[in-house]
Every structure is written in structure tokens, then in C-alpha cells.
Chain A
């Protein structure tokens, strides 16, 4: 078990190392290079060369690559020329906002998906299950940016019940009093496709479980449908769900980029979007790297959680 855990951790570390390398070469292979994005496309070659020298971009590849690692090891993610701040400190607040939004969304989506999936699985092929199935296809075919825009149109512009965006404070910091108010629409938007996808996957798991003998056996010893669903089926059907929740991390960010942009919610996705529009390389690179590492960690966490939940787990 210890050996298997070390192997799993080793895999994760290797993935992170490859990721860091990959991102380095993505930046390195950029036509024009970072200097152009800082100085503008029409900068004079002399100015570009000077800046390249200043940033160490005239060194050989392997040297730049080592510097890249050294900087990362010290938590140095670069300096944002558009925001005039070190990227590491810049990302902090935005990351915090994203975590807040994602936590709300994750709780809502997992809770709803569990209920919907259980209902869908329990009803087998009967009408309620079919209706849930149809809703799921619609749910994850709806683009978040469309849903978000329509929600703003209805609830912010027409009805004026909720704010159209932002978080009610300075760009990246919020007043806690109005924060929840500002979270409702983005969270609803981001939850929709996630709930649809999760509940579909989970519903299939549940349906498979309901075909098992132990469900019939549980009914035969007088257990009610609620107890069977939550006490017996849920536990067995949820095992693959933990893996899926680990894989949810990237979809949260993907949905997050679009949702945060629609609502001007100052999170990591919004920052990614702004830095892409302003060609703020260091920030862009740091966010890509951060998202990659979070994904690897998410998968790792899901695996570990599975080991804890599953008494029958076997390592190969």
C-alpha cells in the first residue's frame, strides 16, 4: 500500500515536471517572443534586443530552462508589465475569489447531481428518468456564456433583483455583505452544465447498481426505497464519482473562464481572459501552469479519496 502510494505520488510529480517543461516550451516557441508583447508589435528591433537581454531571453535554451525552474522553485512567477506587480501577489486575490465561486458551485452541483442521479437511476427507463435524461443533454449543450448573458438580461436588467456582475467591491476584493448577492448568478450559470454532466454520469452508475442483486435483496428484507437509495446504492455508485469530482477541477476552470468573463467576476478565469486580451505573458503563463498543477492535484486527491472510501481497493 505504501509502495503504491509512493508510485502514485511519483506519477503526479512527474506529470507536474512535464507540465512545467511543456509550458516553458509553449512560451519559448512563441513567435516574436514576450518582448513584442511588452513593447508592442511595432517596437524597434533594438528595443526588443535590449529587453530580451534584460530578461535573459538571449541566453541559450537550456540556460533559460534552468532559470525558469529556479524561479519557480522560489515562487517567482514573473512580473506583470500591464499590472505593474509581481504575478504571484497578483494571482492571490483572484485565486481566492475563484476558490469561493468554485466551492459554492461544487457543493451545489454535487448535491443536485447526487439527487438527480439517484432519481434517474432508481426510475430505470420510466418517464421521470427519461425527463431527467433529456434535461441533461439540454443542460450541457447550453453554453455558459449564453446562459449567463440571458440571466443578466432577465434578473439584473429587467427585474433588477440581482447585480449584473462584479463582486460589489474594489476590482478584486469584496465587501462580504454584498458578496453572496453577487455570487448567485455566476454560481447558477456555472452549476448548470456541471450538474447536467455529473448527474448523467452518476445516473448511469446508479442505474447499474439498481440492477444488482443486493438491491433486490435489500427490498426483500423490507428496506424502504429511501433507505435503499441513500444507505446502499449511493455508497456503491459514488465510488467512481470521486474520480469524476477530481476531474471536475479543469471543467470548473473552463466554465469559470467564460462565466467569470460574462459576470466580470474577478477570479482566475477573468484574469486569464484579461491577460490574454492585454497579452500579459507572465500572468498568462502562471495561470496556465497553476491550472495544470491544480488538475494534477485534483486527480491525485480523487485517487487518494477513492483509496480511503473503498475497502476493497487493489493496487496493481
Chain B
């Protein structure tokens, strides 16, 4: 894996309110890398900062939020140093974004072919005809033969899964380095979910695409991704190889997440839930952020904020479980 080139390197990324200095950072000192052909899964509850990280990489943070620190490298380009205009050129060309809800992420009044072709033409220029030919071949690649060969197709004529394929086709229009899939299957039913994930897996293998897969579903992450990064309240709490991670999570939060997954074969055993709620905006407990909900919290957890371990298994916990699988 180390021989592959690093596609995306995020270092010390911190996102917070633009005007309120005292409010806490929503993404706090986050660092990670994704190599070409690799799929990194971002796991966390809603509000943990997963989607904000994606928005920060794209430079499209919601109004009122700002990147306060950190850098984002896409291959050799420092994205945070680019002007808005230069960054716009990268969006859609070097990095694609797939949204959670394919029902709303496509413009309802323009055909899907036109929306793909537009993306291609904006970045690559060329004739309209060439862009449309490109759109049709992309639609074929993501498995939408009818739209690839048939007449203009509008989003309302497609099912949710098919629309998500269109979103992926748009993201791939200019052969990007990186694809960020933000909960791409959450709005879809299980069978379609598997199909979309198969498609993503195939594409990253065929094209050497780096994929950042954002999900709240740990089982999905473990099954599909090469590596997993767990976020809690804006901070990375554990990072590691997906197989190892699922067998032996070392952070209590990761363990709790794993134990909350209903196993298909596990007839015995109760599902465990995580007591309490993640910290709201503003109020952060001193010490470890997870300590108030942690079943194995000790006194020092409430005072000292843990840092990420430098050696595997990498996690941010004062009392990690380091059992070898």
C-alpha cells in the first residue's frame, strides 16, 4: 500500500465559526491521508464533523463557518492556498462529490445527460457533441444503458439507485483523483445499496480512484473500505486497517459502535447502546470528549485530553484496549 501515491493528505484541519472565536471547533485538528486506489471510510454519528470535512476539502463550507487551520493537499496541490477561482477549476475536475440524497442532488429540470455533459465541458472544453458522447459513455460505465443510448432522461424518470449512479457519473466526468461519497447509500434500500457500493469498489480498482467514503454505518465501512477513521465530536478517535479495526477496536467508542451493530447470525446477545448524547455545540467536557459516555472511563479521562497514538493501533484514548486479535 505504501508504494501507491498519496492522493489526498489532510493535515491539522480545523473548522469553526467564522465570527465566534469562543465557540468550539466543529472539526478539530484532523489529519489523514488517502492513497490512490484506496477507500478510506469516515465513521461517526451525525454532527461528528464528517460532512463538514468533505465541505472543507472542497472549500464549500456553509455560510458562517470557516477553515481556521490546517492544510489540504490533493496530490501535489495545496488546495487551501488556491484562490476561489483556481479552486473552482479543481472541483469536479480533480475531485468529485456524491451526495447522500440522490433525489435532491440532481437538478430536476435538466436532463441527466446535459448535467454530465455540462460538467465535462466546463472543465475540459471541447464541443457540445464531444461532451454528450462523454456523458453517454459515462452512463454506460455506471450501468445506465437506457440513459446512455436512449433519449434525454430527466431525474424524475429514474429510481433512487439510478440517480445515485448518475451522481457518480457526474463525479467521474473528468477522471478525478479523489471521489468523496457522503453517505451515498443511506437514502437507498439494501439491495441497491450493495449495487452502488459494488460500483464504487469496481471504479476505484479500475481507475485507481482514491475514495473517501463517509458513513455512519460501521458494518458497511468495515466490509467495503481498506481503512477506517472514526470521528467523535469533531476529533479523530481511532484510525486503522478495516479488518483489524473491526476485529479489535481499541477505542471504547469504536467498540461501542461495533457492539451496537445487529449481527445477522448473532441470535444470542443483546445489542448494546451507547448511553447519553454526543456533546452539543459549545459545551465540551474537559478531558476526553467521550469520557461522560464511556463505560471504562477513569478519573484521569475527565482531566486529560488524550492524543492519537503514534504506533498501531492508532487511537486517541488514555486507556486503550490493546489486545492482539
Nearest opposing residue in chain B for A220, CB measure: B97
Are B104 and A212 neighbours in the complex by a CB distance under 8 Å? yes
Q: Does B110 contact A (CB under 8 A)?
A: yes
Are B119 and A222 neighbours in the complex by a CB distance under 8 Å? yes
A-binding segment of B34-42, B88-96, B280-288: B88-96
Nearest opposing residue in chain A for B167, CB measure: A217
Q: Does A311 contact B (CB under 8 A)?
A: yes
B-binding segment of A27-35, A230-238, A264-272: A230-238
> In whole Å, how far is A78's beta carbon from the nearest beta carbon of chain B?
48
Are A312 and B60 neighbours in the complex by a CB distance under 8 Å? no
Quick one: which of B60, B101, B119 contacts A213, CB cutoff 8 A? B101
Interface members, chain B 153-185 (any A CB < 8 Å): 154, 156, 167, 170-171, 173
Nearest opposing residue in chain A for B54, CB measure: A220
Are A222 and B154 neighbours in the complex by a CB distance under 8 Å? no
Q: Does B105 contact A (CB under 8 A)?
A: yes
Q: Does B122 contact A (CB under 8 A)?
A: yes
Interface members, chain A 189-235 (any B CB < 8 Å): 212-214, 216-224, 227, 231-232, 235
Q: Does A124 contact B (CB under 8 A)?
A: yes
Quick one: which of B93, B109, B123, B171 contacts A236, CB cutoff 8 A? B109
Given A236-B107, A312-B156, CB of A222 within 8 Å of CB of B97: no
Q: Does B58 contact A (CB under 8 A)?
A: yes
> In whole Å, how far is A218's beta carbon from the nearest beta carbon of chain B?
7
Interface string of B61-77 (1 = CB under 8 A from A): 00100000000000000
Interface SS of A by simple majority: helix
B-chain residues with CB within 8 Å of residue A212 when the two chains form the complex: 104
Tell which of B92, B101, B109 has the most Cβ of chain A within 10 Å: B109
Q: Does B214 contact A (CB under 8 A)?
A: no
Are B105 and A213 neighbours in the complex by a CB distance under 8 Å? yes
Are B63 and A124 neighbours in the complex by a CB distance under 8 Å? yes
A-chain residues with CB within 8 Å of residue B92 when the two chains form the complex: 220-223
> In whole Å, how far is A227's beta carbon from the nearest beta carbon of chain B?
7
B-chain residues with CB within 8 Å of residue A124 when the two chains form the complex: 63
Are B122 and A218 neighbours in the complex by a CB distance under 8 Å? no
> In whole Å, how far is B55's beta carbon from the nearest beta carbon of chain A?
9
Tell which of B104, B156, B167 has the most Cβ of chain A within 10 Å: B104
B-chain residues with CB within 8 Å of residue A214 when the two chains form the complex: 104-108
Nearest opposing residue in chain B for A214, CB measure: B107
Give the CA-CA distance A277 to B109 in the complex, in Å: 51
Given A213-B99, A217-B99, A312-B156, CB of A222 within 8 Å of CB of B107: no
Quick one: which of A125, A213, A231 contacts B118, CB cutoff 8 A? A231
Are B104 and A312 neighbours in the complex by a CB distance under 8 Å? no
Give the CA-CA distance A223 to B58 in the complex, in Å: 13
Give the CA-CA distance A113 to B93 in the complex, in Å: 34
> In whole Å, how far is A121's beta carbon from the nearest beta carbon of chain B?
13
Are A217 and B110 neighbours in the complex by a CB distance under 8 Å? no
Given A222-B93, A235-B110, A312-B156, CB of A216 within 8 Å of CB of B99: yes
Given A220-B92, A221-B91, A222-B88, CB of A232 within 8 Å of CB of B107: yes
Quick one: which of A224, A310, A311 contacts B88, CB cutoff 8 A? A224
Given A213-B101, A231-B118, A312-B156, CB of A219 within 8 Å of CB of B60: yes
Nearest opposing residue in chain A for B100, CB measure: A213
Give the CA-CA distance A125 to B122 in the complex, in Å: 29
Are B99 and A219 neighbours in the complex by a CB distance under 8 Å? no
A-chain residues with CB within 8 Å of residue B99 when the two chains form the complex: 213, 216-217
B-chain residues with CB within 8 Å of residue A125 when the two chains form the complex: 63
> In whole Å, how far is B83's beta carbon from the nearest beta carbon of chain A?
13
Are B90 and A222 neighbours in the complex by a CB distance under 8 Å? yes
> In whole Å, how far is B304's beta carbon from the nearest beta carbon of chain A?
39
Tell which of A221, A223, A310, A312 has the most Cβ of chain B within 10 Å: A221
Are A220 and B93 neighbours in the complex by a CB distance under 8 Å? no
B-chain residues with CB within 8 Å of residue A231 when the two chains form the complex: 118
A-chain residues with CB within 8 Å of residue B107 when the two chains form the complex: 214, 218, 232, 235-236
Give the CA-CA distance A260 to B134 in the complex, in Å: 57
Interface members, chain A 94-123 (any B CB < 8 Å): none
A-chain residues with CB within 8 Å of residue B106 when the two chains form the complex: 214, 217
Nearest opposing residue in chain B for A223, CB measure: B122
Quick one: which of B108, B109, B122 contacts A222, CB cutoff 8 A? B122
Give the CA-CA distance A15 to B119 in the complex, in Å: 47
Are A236 and B97 neighbours in the complex by a CB distance under 8 Å? no
Nearest opposing residue in chain A for B182, CB measure: A220
Give the CA-CA distance A124 to B89 in the complex, in Å: 24
Quick one: which of B88, B89, B97, B173 contacts A217, CB cutoff 8 A? B97
Interface members, chain A 279-316 (any B CB < 8 Å): 310-312
Nearest opposing residue in chain A for B152, CB measure: A311
Interface members, chain A 225-254 (any B CB < 8 Å): 227, 231-232, 235-236, 239
Known: A222-B89, A223-B88, A235-B107. 17 other contacts (CB 8 A): A213-B105, A214-B105, A214-B107, A217-B99, A219-B58, A220-B58, A220-B92, A220-B96, A221-B170, A222-B90, A222-B122, A223-B92, A232-B107, A232-B110, A235-B109, A311-B109, A311-B156
Pick 29 A–B contacts, CB within 8 A, sort by A. A124-B63, A125-B63, A213-B104, A214-B105, A214-B106, A216-B99, A216-B105, A217-B97, A218-B107, A219-B58, A219-B91, A220-B92, A220-B96, A221-B91, A221-B92, A221-B173, A222-B89, A222-B90, A222-B91, A223-B122, A224-B88, A232-B107, A235-B109, A235-B110, A236-B108, A236-B109, A310-B109, A311-B156, A312-B154
Binding site for B on A (CB under 8 A): 124-126, 212-214, 216-224, 227, 231-232, 235-236, 239, 310-312
User: Considering the complex of A and B, which 9 residue pairs feature the smallest CB-CB distances, nearest first?
Assistant: A221-B92, A222-B92, A222-B91, A220-B97, A213-B104, A213-B105, A217-B105, A214-B107, A221-B119
